[in-house]
Amino acid sequence: MEVMKMDWLKELLKTAGIADDQIETIVANAAKEAPKHVVPKAKYNELSTAKSSLETQLSERDTQLEELKKVDVEGLQAKITELQQTNETSKQQHEQELKDERLSSALKLALSGKVHDSDLVAGLIDRNTIELSKDGKVTKGLDEQLKSLQESKSFLFVPEKQQPTFRGWNPAGGADNSAGTSDVGTNFAKIANEKGSSGSDKTPWT
């Protein structure tokens, strides 16, 4: 507890003509009783600061309340609703863009090597019927459309590689009018028939 300074009281008592020994007794008793009736300066300063702080806070609250009274509640709610709708629209657009990009990549991958221009053919595909797997591959809706396009616009597609046919050699202007070419199997059969008709027991290749 802070010890109260009583010098001012001593001076008052001396001025009043009180004897020194009595002054000490009076001052001692006053110092003992004073805390029960007087607020120490430090405590007073603390309370005074707290009071000022509370008054400032109350003033700020009053200002805020006045500002809130000026707000158009209906207008504010309308603005909030507008922002929510804008955010939702932006979200949907972003999701659609991601979906379109994913679908475009899947179509280009599926068309690779089958058509001359993947971008061109992908633009002719009805994407609403296309279904993708979780790993981004086309699982449905493409084959039917490609078949239809191949029938109507075959020039868009890369021709399928045909298995090579081995041909034998026949003199130009042969009797079979093949312009110098004939199937190897046909030639072998012809030779075998000729050998057989001559009565030879040798194989056609000896």
Three-class SS state of 150: helix
Number of C-beta neighbours around residue 160 at 10 A: 6
pLDDT value, residue 201: 53
Q: What pLDDT is recorded for position 167?
A: 52
Bridge partners of 183?
Answer: 167
pLDDT at 183: 55
pLDDT by residue (tens digit) across 36-79?
Answer: 767 667 777 788 888 888 889 888 888 888 887 887 888 888 88
Q: What is the DSSP string of 155-168?
A: GGBPPPPPPP--EE
Query: How sure is the predictor about 188, in pLDDT bands with cuts at 50, 70 and 90?
Result: low
DSSP structural state of residue 2: P
Lowest mean pLDDT among 84-93, 96-105, 172-181: 172-181
The answer to whether residue 98 scores a pLDDT higher than 80 is yes
Ranking 2-6, 151-155, 171-175 by mean pLDDT, the lowest is 171-175
- Mean pLDDT of all residues in the chain? 77
C-alpha atoms less than 13 angstroms from C-alpha of 180 in its C-beta half-sphere: 1
- What is the C-alpha separation between 119 and 51, in angstroms, rounded? 76
Q: Taking the domains of the chain in order of start, what are their residue ranges?
A: 7-37, 87-154
Three-state DSSP state, 91? helix
Q: What percent of the chain has pLDDT over 70?
A: 73
pLDDT in tens, 107-137: 888 888 888 888 888 888 888 888 888 888 8
pLDDT band at 179 (very low <50, low <70, confident <90, very high): very low
